[in-house]
Structure 1
Amino acid sequence: MNEINIRQANKSDYRGLAKIWLQASIVAHDFIAEKYWHLNQEAMETDYLPQSTVYIAEGVKTAYGFVALLDTHIAAIFVKPEYQGRGIGRLLIKHVMKSHKKLSLNVFQKNFKSIEFYQKLGFVVTDESIDDKVNESEFIMYWFEELNTPIPLSAIFDYHPYGAQCTTEKPLPQLLEGQIIEIPSLEDDTVFNILEEKGKEIVIANLDRYILLQLILDQLSCFYQVQIRNGRITILNALNEEERNERWKKFYTIYEKYFQPFSK
């Protein structure tokens, strides 16, 4: 294989890239009827690719694969079947990572190979959806450029999170997309001692620490969409007003169930 060059695609490339899309889609998605991909090849060439920012990985005379972006969303990444397993897909992803602080994508849940590939590159599953066109479940995955050293949960919750009055008196600090927050273990007295000092009207000693920590995380998720994984929280994005109100309704349901008996 020749030296690989990555460049931005133009209109004259789209027909060849649509052929790569067709070949690679059939191989990667054997759980979807082959006819579906053939029926959509023309739309890929004339509609989807022209709407995207597309980068090609190519040699002297051969296009090996491409990645297509809609803003920060990876709409497509495909490599010719005969060139797969040679690091081309990784090069394409790394190329777009250089110019973006966050990326997202959808991947079919049955596409185990691709899911593992994305996870190795730092993508995490944040949600699920259904592709109505083929009635198949998907994972929504995100990648963020690491902003800085993870911050401890106690740096955010330096007040007790026990009701609306606390969040209005001292709201959560503005957190950036991609910020990583360390979750304390249930044996870590530091964060819980801070909370006990701030929450004297509640008998913390009688409240299970797992429930307390879960409520802290629930309150954080009333302001942000978060990913919780391997003892860390990653801030995905701030919620809008409607989403915050909906999350608060759920939070108060939990609050009334667990905290009311201890706050009387």
Structure 2
Amino acid sequence: MIMEIRIEHYNAELRSQLLKVWEKSVLASHHFLTKEDFFEIKTSLEEYEFEAITVLCLMVRETVAGFVGLYESKIEMLFLDPDYIGQGLGKQLVEFVTQNYKVSLVDVNEQNVNAVKFYEKVGFEAYERTDKDDFDKDYPLLRMRLKDA
């Protein structure tokens, strides 16, 4: 079955779908987060002004299947609905932003092993490791850059 896929800019009408994708994705992939940290991040994201950065939504028909948030040359967030993982959609999204938005950087939670493998598979390599994340929590990050960028 061929999926009808398109990438479109975020708009406020997509907000509730985007937040649902984030939650499903994080619950499926961020097993290392404490419940407290999960709810703290969720609350912060619910109040986040997505218009402050470039957010592109991966649409399957009229449903948000994933999204990527960009700031300058960096992927700030990329989440895919777990129902769509393994179908090449995340790769399409990364290729789209690296080609059209000159993105070459991403930070990945070191404990999110599948995400690290994914970014390596699509051409990124780790160049630095932090002991804490950007919120000063004990979740090490791998700073990655696109090879040949």
- Shared fold, TM over 0.5: yes
Residues 125-140 of structure 1 mapped to structure 2, 5 A cutoff: 125-129=126-130, 130-131=132-133, 132-140=135-143
Paired residue type of 1:140: R
- The counterpart of 1:141, out of the listed 129, 140, 144, is 144
State the identity as a percent.
Answer: 25
- Tell me which stretches of 4 or more aligned residues in structure 1 moved more than 4 Å: none
Residues 79-228 of structure 1 mapped to structure 2, 5 A cutoff: 79-129=80-130, 130-131=132-133, 132-143=135-146, 146=148, 178=149
Range moving further from structure 2, 63-72 or 35-44: 35-44
Q: Deviations over 1:103-162 (max 9, x none)?
A: 211111111111111011111111111214431111000115x4xxxxxxxxxxxxxxxx
Structure 1: runs of 5 or more not aligned = 147-177, 179-264
Is 2:28 aligned against 1:32? no
- Kindly tell me: are residues 35 and 22 of structure 1, through their superposed partners in 2, closer, same or farther at Cα, counting changes over 3 Å? farther
Question: Quick check: 1:15–1:45 contact (8 Å CA) kept in 2?
Answer: no
Paired residue type of 2:128: D
1:57 counterpart SS class:
strand
TM-score (norm 2): 0.87
- Kindly tell me: are residues 50 and 36 of structure 1, through their superposed partners in 2, closer, same or farther at Cα, counting changes over 3 Å? farther
- Work out the CA distance in 2 between the residues paired with 1:120 and 1:48: 31
C-alpha displacement of 1:40: 2.5
C-alpha displacement of 1:61: 2.7
Aligned residues: 146
C-alpha displacement of 1:17: 0.6
C-alpha displacement of 1:100: 3.5
TM-score (norm 1): 0.51
- Kindly tell me: are residues 69 and 89 of structure 1, through their superposed partners in 2, closer, same or farther at Cα, counting changes over 3 Å? same
Determine the structure 2 residue equivalent to 1:51.
Answer: 52
- Work out the CA distance in 1 between the residues paired with 2:69 and 2:125: 20
Structure number with greater CO (CA < 8 Å, separation at least 6) is: 2
- Work out the CA distance in 1 between the residues paired with 2:59 and 2:95: 15
Larger proportion of helix: 1
Determine the structure 2 residue equivalent to 1:18.
Answer: 19
Question: Quick check: 1:102–1:142 contact (8 Å CA) kept in 2?
Answer: no
1:86 counterpart SS class:
coil
C-alpha displacement of 1:48: 5.0
C-alpha displacement of 1:102: 4.2
Larger proportion of strand: 2
- Work out the CA distance in 2 between the residues paired with 1:50 and 1:21: 16
Residues 246-257 of structure 1 mapped to structure 2, 5 A cutoff: none
Structure 2: runs of 5 or more not aligned = none
- Kindly tell me: are residues 101 and 50 of structure 1, through their superposed partners in 2, closer, same or farther at Cα, counting changes over 3 Å? closer
Range moving further from structure 2, 60-69 or 39-48: 39-48
Tell me how large the CA RMSD over aligned residues is: 1.8
C-alpha displacement of 1:52: 1.5
